Amino acid sequence: ACGGPSTGGGGPAAVPEVDYSGVQPAKEITWWTNNPGSSETVSRQIIDAYQRANPGTKVNLVTAGATYEEIAQRFQTAQAGGGSQLPDLVVLSDVWWFRYYMQRSIVPMDPLIAATGIDTADYRQQLIEDYRYDGKLWALPWARSTPIFYYNKAHWQKAGLPDRAPATWAEMAEWGPRLQAAGTGAQKAYQLPALADYAGWSFQNNLWGEGGAWSDEWDVTCDSPEAVRAVSALQNAVTSGWAGVAATDGTTDLGAGAVSATVGSTGSLVTVLDAARFDVGAGFLPAGPVAGPVCPTGGAGLGIPAGVPPERQLAAAAFAKFLTSPENTVLFSQATGYLPLRTSADTGPLLAETPLRKIAIDQLDRTRTQDRARAFFPGADQEIARTCANILNQRADVQGELTTLKGTLTRIFDTDVKPNI
Ligand SMILES: O=P(O)(O)OC[C@H](O)CO
């Protein structure tokens, strides 16, 4: 992960709303994706079906990066080149779409939704409403996730633990040393997700459970006593020896049997199940002492660049409609573990085949909107990851680090956000 380009600017003019009536959709479009959850094969399968259903139409899938950050870098570079360099449809993660909104580089989806007859009421509302700002929708949901708690059932059994995820982090703090002492062969009972891989995302769970947050609306609150308590608990888990910090990917470490549990995206579910030579367990994210939802949503949506002609925007929206249809969201979910987006989708066979998929779907009812300082502040995720690395890997002082982070995030708001909203 990397910080990405700065979006500092002087409050660019709003993107003019396009009237799509009378516009003929282009016959060929280009879609940039980073294939989250190893989704290239299923994406190509859906494209083939689209081309068969719409003879004479072509969709070019371009793997425009391996991560959300790489695809974003390339998209930013393409902005400078104008319409001929730009894709017609682009994958944007939860921490990127708002930047594009601030840069006025994506169009509002509402007129395209109307023009293509997308039934927004049938999308899971938590997953579509995330993209609403200033009264408009700026993306459609696509590879959407929640984090879930993954564990190795054999290790759990060896430690004499009940076959479930811990209900609270306090319970995990009791189970951690028992797992660590049980001779499971794992290096660590619990692996914190790789910090560069969105520590800012999954640690919202820990902060919210203690009554803290990275921010409250636009106010940065990451140095509050509650946040300090939450991050101190993470540091204590590491210093007391039962928790480690993933170097590259906690779910890979779990799949390899190197750790007994981790928190990771539901979009990694199929990859974990394919890798694991043991029974994988999964559950909701553990709660903290403070009541209320403790789980964020995450993952990626689809945006349409402002810099391409209306014909291409319209064709991109028509393809996005197909890509997220009830049938195709089930196909995509089956191949990856990402959430089925549509309430009318028949998830019965999916759940019968892999009951673990139900965890993320059920957990959706317990989600909370992400903190703006993480999702809306350009580069904040990387700053949070750096701070967490200092605290968890270098054992730096929690209060001091979080106070410094507050200064950094507040500067990002003042410079890169405030002038653009
Ligand atoms: O790995 P994903 O696709 O579930 O995304 C996780 C985070 O939301 C990315 O910011």
CA dihedral 85, 91, 92, 94 (to 10 degrees): 180
- Give φ, ψ of 90 to 5 degrees: -135, 140
- Give the pocket of ligand 1 (CB within 6 Å): 36, 93-95, 143, 145, 198, 201, 265, 267, 298-300
Cβ–Cβ < 8 Å for 104, 326: no
pLDDT at 9: 43
Mutate to test the pocket of ligand 1, among 265, 368, 371 (most ligand atoms within 8 A of CB): 265
Per-residue pLDDT of the chain (421 residues; tens, 9 = 90+): 333 444 444 456 677 788 999 999 999 999 999 999 999 999 999 999 999 999 999 999 999 999 999 999 999 999 988 778 999 999 999 999 999 999 999 999 999 999 999 999 999 999 999 999 999 999 999 999 999 999 999 999 999 999 999 999 999 999 999 999 999 999 999 999 999 878 999 999 999 999 999 999 999 999 999 999 999 999 999 999 999 999 999 999 999 999 999 999 999 999 999 999 999 999 999 999 999 999 999 999 999 999 999 999 999 999 999 999 999 999 999 999 999 999 999 999 999 999 999 999 999 999 999 999 999 999 999 999 999 999 999 999 999 999 999 999 999 999 999 999 9
| pTM of the predicted model over 0.90 | yes
Name which residue sits closest to atom 5 of ligand 1, judged by CA. Answer: 299
Name which residue sits closest to atom 4 of ligand 1, judged by CA. Answer: 299
Cβ–Cβ < 8 Å for 187, 260: no
Residue 36 CA, closest ligand 1 atom number:
3
Contacts of 262 by beta carbon, 8 Å cutoff, 6+ apart:
149, 150, 190, 191, 192, 193, 246, 250, 251, 253, 254
Q: At what angle do helices 326-336 and 40-53 cross, to 10 degrees?
A: 160
> How far is 45 from 66, CA to CA, in rounded Å?
20
From the list 269, 271, 299, the residue with the least C-alpha distance to 283 is 269
Q: What is the DSSP letter of 49?
A: H
Residue 265 CA, closest ligand 1 atom number:
4
pLDDT at 321: 98
Cα 69 to middle of ligand 1, angstroms: 11
Q: At what angle do helices 326-336 and 310-323 cross, to 10 degrees?
A: 70
Mutate to test the pocket of ligand 1, among 2, 91, 130, 201 (most ligand atoms within 8 A of CB): 201
pLDDT at 141: 98
